[in-house]
Amino acid sequence: MKILAIETSCDETAAAVVCDAVEPDKRIISNVVNSQAKLHSQYGGVVPENAARMHAETIGAVVNESLRFAEITVDDIDVVAVTAGPGLIGGLLVGTVTAKTIALAKRKPIVAVNHLEGHLLTARLCYTVDCPYLLLLASGGHFMFVEVFAVGHYKVLGETLDDAAGEAFDKVARMLGLAYPGGPEIERCARNGDQTRFSYTMPLLRNPGCDASFSGIKTATKIHIESIPNITDSDKNDIAASFQNIVTSSAVRQLSKAWHLTSSRPARIVLAGGVAANTELREKVARFATQMKLETYFPPIALCSDNAAMIGWCAIERISAGFEYSNPDFKTLPRWPLS
């Protein structure tokens, strides 16, 4: 089975061709991503109208490139898959209209995919990962702990009460005058910084659940920055290191609580989303898993951020699990919770 997948939920215009090969390393036939980072960097974040316009201008070329790289034509595709939500409505509409047009013109079935479910199943695209497992999804727009029992059967144990981790990284980077996207910039500065110089209070210490909060950390960082009259690169490095340390430590602390709240006590921990590319977060999650004698799975860096390969694989998983194809008239959903 070959699937043409399209992803346009935020600021990445992406298309991929994936198949249901048994060997994980043979499943991605092509995976093309056109980043809009340069476009949005001048604003310090994603401007929805600009993002939608760029999606519309590039989606045709990106789809064609994915087919060319896969050395097939659209006639060779068995199914079309597309992100139908959640995300920015303008970008989602570009992707869904394109996918529906291809499916209608070529008489192919279509699968509307939840972007979050795509992240949830990315590890199973890359590795042989049995269910159940506990997933930490950390991205620019989402932060949640999900117990994955089977394809289509999920339980959200906790999520951010305010900012997502990636959103906090972007905002702090902007405060420091760093480029967008902020995550890689913060990590780069943190390598040369002292993570003990600035102190923070661990959020939600008295909260019995595993929800997360990053707005207080962001505000504390703003106060630290404003307390330095003539901030230097060395100061910025120390702030970045201290900020990154509290965010990753808080995430893993809540991950531990989430695992103890699971009903299945899964033997596997999976990390996904754009922030999953952060080296310090990976190291701390791996350390926690080692202490608990759990397996860990981290998708390759290229598959942490938004991409169409994960959307295509999610469609394959759902088809294989017996879920029906989508009605071609499905709605685009800017809000689409996993529940």
What's the pLDDT band for 68 if we cut at 50, 70, 90? very high
Q: Please tell me the distance from the alpha carbon of residue 105 to that of residue 24, in angstroms, as a whole number.
A: 31
Q: What pLDDT does 305 receive?
A: 93
Q: What pLDDT does 219 receive?
A: 96
Of residues 21, 29, 36, 10, the one with CA closest to residue 119: 10
Cβ(253)–Cβ(202) below 8 Å: yes
What residues are paired with 3 via a beta bridge? 18, 79
Exposure letters 98-118 (e unless 16+ CB within 10 A, then b): bbbebbeeeebbbbbbbbbbb
Q: What mean pLDDT value characterizes the chain?
A: 96
**pLDDT, tens digit, for every residue of 306-315?**
999 999 999 9
What's the pLDDT band for 289 if we cut at 50, 70, 90? very high
Residue 65 has pLDDT above 80, yes or no: yes
**pLDDT, tens digit, for every residue of 162-217?**
999 999 999 999 999 999 899 999 999 999 999 999 999 999 998 999 999 999 99
Q: What is each CA distance from 42 to 37, 47, 81, 165, 280, in whole angstroms?
A: 9, 10, 32, 21, 27
Average pLDDT (263-290) is: 97
Residue with the bigger pLDDT between 43 and 179: it is 179
Q: What pLDDT does 38 receive?
A: 82
What's the pLDDT band for 137 if we cut at 50, 70, 90? very high
Average pLDDT (322-331) is: 96
Q: Can you read off the two tokens belonging to residue 44?
A: 């310090």
| CB within 8 Å of 323: residues ≥ 6 apart | 151, 152
Which phi-psi region, left, alpha or beta, contains residue 107 (left: φ > 0; alpha: ψ -120 to 50)?
Answer: left
Q: What pLDDT does 34 receive?
A: 95
Give the torsion sign (CA, 37, 115, 70, 96). Answer: negative
Q: What is each CA distance from 110 to 25, 68, 80, 102, 171, in whole angstroms?
A: 25, 21, 5, 9, 37
Q: Indicate the DSSP class of residue 277.
A: G
What's the pLDDT band for 37 if we cut at 50, 70, 90? confident
Q: What are phi and psi of 139, to 5 degrees?
A: -140, -170
Helices 215-226/165-175 angle, 10° precision? 10
Q: What pLDDT does 42 receive?
A: 79
Residue 128 has pLDDT above 90, yes or no: yes
Q: What pLDDT does 163 receive?
A: 94
Residue 225 has pLDDT above 90, yes or no: yes
Of residues 273, 270, 252, 14, the one with CA closest to residue 167: 273
Q: SS3 sequence, 45-107?
A: CCCHHHHHHHHHHHHHHHHHHHHHHHCCCHHHCCEEEEEEECCCHHHHHHHHHHHHHHHHHHC
What's the pLDDT band for 29 if we cut at 50, 70, 90? very high
Residue 281 has pLDDT above 80, yes or no: yes
Cβ(7)–Cβ(309) below 8 Å: no
What's the pLDDT band for 150 if we cut at 50, 70, 90? very high
The domains located in the chain, with CATH, are 2-122+303-320 (3.30.420.40), 130-301 (3.30.420.40)
Distance between terminal CA atoms of the chain? 28
Q: What pLDDT does 39 receive?
A: 84
Burial class of residue 94 (count of CB atoms within 10 Å of its CB; 0-12, 13-18, 19+): buried
Residue 44 has pLDDT above 80, yes or no: no
What's the pLDDT band for 45 if we cut at 50, 70, 90? confident
Helix, strand, coil percentages (3-state) for the chain, rounded to 5, are 45, 20, 35
